[in-house]
Amino acid sequence: MSTRRLLLVNGPNLNLLGIREPEVYGTETLADVESLVARTAAESGYEVRAVQSNHEGVLIDAIHAARTDCAGIVINPGGLTHTSVVLRDALAGVALPVAEVHISDVMAREAFRHHSYVADVAVVHVVGRGVAGYAEATRALLARLAD
């Protein structure tokens, strides 16, 4: 694919990064995350379109739109990871490679966080690496795209 753009998707409550539970999520903000992913993607000549919403339908619409002008998706679905079949189906439906990223180690947290509806459609999984995990996920996705 000649498209040199990634879609960065951040789900509910990630707009509160830097404020919400800093002992779990750290003190970096959503703007810091978006900047990190943009810089990381630029290393390989890619640009990034970022979307964050607390509304599932907004995220699904952005994923659907990506099918025409993005090469892949980096996503932290937030709490929708554990609840949203429709988000998973949107990702599967656009048939773009997906990198799933989580700031905290969801497997070391509450039992309900141990299941991800996104896991089976993602080709990259980065969990529990803090905000730096976004750069790791982006590089891994770009490596897959280069293959």
Both tokens of 61, joined, read: 């619409």
The residue annotated as part of the active site, out of 25, 46, 117, 134, is 25
Active site residue 102: yes
In the block, tokens 């891994």 appear at 140
CA atoms within 13 A on the CB side of 90: 21
Query: Residues forming the annotated binding site for substrate?
Result: 76, 82, 89, 103-104, 113
Backbone dihedral region of 130: left (phi > 0), alpha (psi from -120 to 50 degrees) or beta?
left
For helices 85-94 and 56-66, angle between their N-to-C axes, nearest 10 degrees:
10
Is 71:96 a contact under the CB 8 Å cutoff?
yes
**In Å, what is the CA distance from 55 to each residue of 59, 100, 102, 111?**
7, 18, 18, 24
The catalytically annotated residue of 46, 102, 117, 134 is 102
Half-sphere exposure of residue 3, counting CA atoms within 13 Å on the CB side? 15
Residues with catalytic roles: 25, 102
